[in-house]
Amino acid sequence: MSTRALGDSALGSAQALSGARVLGGAKALLVDLDGTLVDSSAPVRRAWTAFAKRHGLDPDEVHAFAQGRPSSETVRLLAPSADHAAEAAFVEEAETTDTDGVFALPGAGEVLRSGYPLAIVTSCSAQLADVRLRAAGLPRPEVVISSNMVMRGKPDPEAFLLGARRLDVTAARCAVLEDSPIGIDAGRAAGARVIALRTTHGDDALARADAIIDSLAALFARSGKRDC
């Protein structure tokens, strides 16, 4: 093995250990959906590409901007003169009827069966969250905080704070699992510690997280199942 490979391996182990330490200190988990438990990048990109074309916008820029945000907020911010309700409905319809390419990310099942009190905290609508979980073959936990349930989406901490309340813990006792920079900001603003996944962004964009990992599978293999 090369010196560089050894260095990369050591770095990955250190980051996994850091993630395990964050997880080990948590009483509950607040878990993002898209990009964390589920890969939905294909239908998300198709929906936002269609939106971008309707409004003469760059599809790549729109897709990047939309990650982690409720679709209604993305529509309002990127197409201020549009019929926001109609456009949000178009995007919602496109995403809820398109599950081609949706699949569970490695370790997603282990997270949901880990024994931790857990809430999914997503910028999806409740309907879309259910569609994605079913398409990925994942169980729906009792607590799912969706965009329908809050006034302000990520990066505002409202959704994570609500998730913690529903689990009857303070956010400071929770670990947030996230893939997006605005989700990381929301988790930290809520007072939680944040473990970021490299599923959709590079390390520079994830630098505000307390730990950065490659895979939930590796994290939960290291941490094991918790008895509650």
Nearest C-alpha neighbor of 175 from the set 15, 46, 24: 24
**Quick check: 11 pLDDT over 60?**
no
**Quick check: 5 pLDDT over 60?**
no
Instruction: Summarize the confidence of residues 88-107 as an average pLDDT.
Output: 95
pLDDT of residue 18: 87
Q: Please compute Rg for the chain using Cα positions.
A: 17
**Quick check: 196 pLDDT over 80?**
yes
The verdict on whether 32 is a catalytic residue reads: yes
Is pLDDT larger for residue 11 or for residue 28? 28
90-99 residue pLDDT tens = 999 999 999 9
Exposed/middle/buried for 85, CB within 10 Å: 0-12, 13-18, 19+?
exposed
CA end-to-end span of the chain: 41
Task: Place 224 in a pLDDT band, splitting at 50, 70 and 90.
Answer: low
**Quick check: 9 pLDDT over 90?**
no
* Whole-Å CA distances, 62 to 121, 179, 193: 22, 17, 29
CATH 3.40.50.1000 fits 15-40+102-223, yes or no: yes
Q: What is the DSSP letter of 113?
A: T
Nearest 5°: phi and psi at 185?
A: -60, -40
Domain ranges of the chain: 15-40+102-223, 41-96
171 three-class SS: helix
Give bridge partners of residue 174 from the DSSP assignment.
28
Nearest C-alpha neighbor of 165 from the set 25, 30, 22, 68: 30
**Quick check: 225 pLDDT over 70?**
no
The verdict on whether 58 is a catalytic residue reads: no
Instruction: Summarize the confidence of residues 78-84 as an average pLDDT.
Output: 92
pLDDT of residue 12: 45
The catalytic residue among 8, 32, 83, 204 is 32
24-56 residue pLDDT tens = 999 999 999 999 999 999 999 999 999 999 999
The catalytic residue among 8, 34, 214, 227 is 34
pLDDT of residue 227: 47
Average pLDDT score over the chain: 89
Task: Place 226 in a pLDDT band, splitting at 50, 70 and 90.
Answer: low
State which H helix or E strand residue 196 sits in. strand 193-197
pLDDT of residue 16: 52
Instruction: Summarize the confidence of residues 92-119 as an average pLDDT.
Output: 96
Instruction: Summarize the confidence of residues 83-93 as an average pLDDT.
Output: 92
Distance from C-alpha of 57 to C-alpha of 61, rounded to nearest angstrom: 8
Exposed/middle/buried for 191, CB within 10 Å: 0-12, 13-18, 19+?
middle
119-172 residue pLDDT tens = 999 999 999 999 999 999 999 999 999 999 999 999 999 999 999 999 999 999
pLDDT of residue 3: 33
Distance from C-alpha of 175 to C-alpha of 131, rounded to nearest angstrom: 25
